[in-house]
Amino acid sequence: MQFSQKLYKILAVVVLLWATACGKKEETSTPTAPETPHKEIAVELTEKQFVMTGVQLGKVSPQNLSNVLKVNGVLDVPPQNLVSISAVMGGFIRKTDMIQGMKIQKGQLLAIIENQDFIQIQQDYLDTKAKLEYAELEYKRQEELSRENVSAAKIFQQITADYKSLQAKYKALQQRLQTVGISIKEVENGKITSEVSIFSPINGYVTTVNFNLGKFVNPVDVLFEIVDTDHLHVELSVFEKDIAKIKIGQKLHFYMANEPEKERKATIYLINPKINPDRTIRVHCHLDQKETELMPNTYVKAFIDVGENTVPALPEEAIVNFEGEDYVWVQEKPHDEGEKHYHFHLLKVKKGMTERGFVEVLLPENFDTNTNLIVTKGSNALLNEYKNAMSGGEEGHGH
């Protein structure tokens, strides 16, 4: 019996020791793995790779992105800066050197027109001038006789009527020669011509040439159109519901259809009080920087600054999306190496509002926007370099 009790106690101790050992073994077999630290995503480029990827650098800049009004419009010129030129009298085109797009000066020869009717006008002028000179002498003679009661009053009245009629005809023919473009002085010196010259009334560019040599043109035909771009302006169409936001002096940015990436600036100068049938109002804006090479009727997309709300922003192209997050590439300080290398690392950001090709960026508090350079163009190319390096490629070095 005592032996059984001792055996029982020994077995109990063995079981207890075995249970304790098993418990410790189970506890040490499932440890908690430490968190893997975030690995910085970076890429290194040689100078050649830097040039090939087309990377451009810039800084975060303040932009007014919220309180802007988007409108459409066109480049335009005042009516006095767009001239349609016709011939005063019909005729055959004998000479012209004009080509569309040619820049010309005021007074420059545009074309020469020939018409035999020009000769008749000059002949009529000379005949009338000669008759007027005789009529003037006769008028003075009859006036003297009438004053001395030698000549009948009826005769003097007839002479006076003929004299004044010739005066009127003479002045009309003078005006006609000037309008046609024939020199009165040369006609009086005996030079009769069947040709007249057409000259440019303004400086500008020839935008239209509507004839060919030898063609007969009528006075109603538009031969040339010339535009002077010195006073080019932006003409915007603003909807009636938005006009309360518009004021003279407000600034705007605009982009042309043929240069969508180039920003230009203008200032609102006039607001037309008339509402058009499409419920829009015309807003006249002056360019802040004069550009004479631009052409009228070019379509523009404008953004009017109707309030001040400046935020830190970057071009949209600067933002890259990697594994569902938004980043920008930040250039690191160059290392002391034999060959020039460029080093960049990804910085996580949050995007805000987007306007005019810019996006608001929310950056870490310790990020210095005054000194840090950010890739503003070529960000996706850098990301591709990093992915290529991580997959075993040889183009760039990523880590």
pLDDT in the model for residue 354: 81
Does the structure show a pLDDT above 70 at 11?
Answer: no
CATH number for the domain running over 42-63+311-398: 2.40.420.20
Mean pLDDT of 155-180: 90
| Cβ atoms of residues 160 and 139 within 8 Å | yes
CATH of 68-78+229-310 given 3.40.50.2300, 2.10.69.10, 2.40.30.170, 2.70.98.40: 2.40.30.170
**Kind plus residue range of the DSSP H or E element containing 94:** strand 91-95
Give the residue range(s) of CATH 2.40.50.100 domains in the chain.
82-226
Does the structure show a pLDDT above 80 at 7?
Answer: no
Average pLDDT of the residues of the chain: 82
Q: pLDDT per residue over 290-326, tens digit each?
A: 887 888 889 999 999 887 678 889 999 999 998 888 9
Residue 16's pLDDT band (boundaries 50, 70, 90)? Answer: very low
pLDDT in the model for residue 337: 55
Does the structure show a pLDDT above 80 at 65?
Answer: no
CA distance 262 to 289: 13
pLDDT in the model for residue 257: 84
pLDDT in the model for residue 335: 57
> Where does the chain have alpha helices with state H?
2-28, 47-53, 117-147, 153-180, 184-188, 379-390
Show the tokens assigned to 93. 């085109």
Residue 237's pLDDT band (boundaries 50, 70, 90)? Answer: very high
Mean pLDDT of 14-41: 42
> Where does 183-306 have alpha helices with state H?
184-188
Angle between helices 117-147 and 153-180 (to 10 degrees): 150
Does the structure show a pLDDT above 70 at 162?
Answer: yes
**Range from 144-148, 284-288, 312-316 carrying the lowest mean pLDDT:** 144-148
pLDDT in the model for residue 24: 42
pLDDT in the model for residue 343: 86
CATH 2.40.50.100, domain 82-226, yes or no: yes
Long-range contacts of the stretch 106-111 (C-beta < 8 A, 24+): 106/200, 106/201, 106/202, 106/203, 107/199, 107/200, 108/199, 108/200, 109/197, 109/198, 109/199, 110/85, 110/198, 110/199, 110/200, 110/223, 110/224, 111/197, 111/198, 111/223, 111/224
CA distance 325 to 206: 54
Nearest Cα to 207, choosing from 279, 120, 283, 294? 294
Show the tokens assigned to 303. 């953004």
Show the tokens assigned to 179. 């309008």
Mean pLDDT of 197-204: 92
Task: Give exposure, 312-333, as e/b (b: 16+ Cβ within 10 Å).
Answer: bbbbebbbbeeeeebbbbbeee
Q: pLDDT per residue over 379-396, tens digit each?
A: 888 888 888 877 765 555
Show the tokens assigned to 59. 């800084």
Mean pLDDT of 31-58: 68
CA distance 399 to 2: 74
Does the structure show a pLDDT above 50 at 144?
Answer: yes
Q: pLDDT per residue over 265-282, tens digit each?
A: 999 999 999 999 999 999
Give the other-Cβ count within 10 Å of 201's Cβ: 13
Percent of the chain with pLDDT over 90: 37
Residue 21's pLDDT band (boundaries 50, 70, 90)? Answer: very low
Map tokens 């006249």 to a residue: 284
What's the pTM value of the predicted model, to 2 decimals?
0.55
What phi, psi does 181 have (nearest 5°)?
105, 25
Mean pLDDT of 180-206: 91
End-to-end Cα separation, the chain, in angstroms? 76
Stronger pLDDT, 185 or 334, i.e. the higher one:
185
pLDDT in the model for residue 353: 80
Q: What angle do CA 255, 257, 259 make, to 5 degrees?
A: 65
CA distance 209 to 249: 39
Give the residue range(s) of CATH 2.40.30.170 domains in the chain.
68-78+229-310
Show the tokens assigned to 8. 């029982």
pLDDT in the model for residue 258: 83
Stronger pLDDT, 24 or 323, i.e. the higher one:
323
| Cβ atoms of residues 199 and 107 within 8 Å | yes
Does the structure show a pLDDT above 80 at 340?
Answer: no
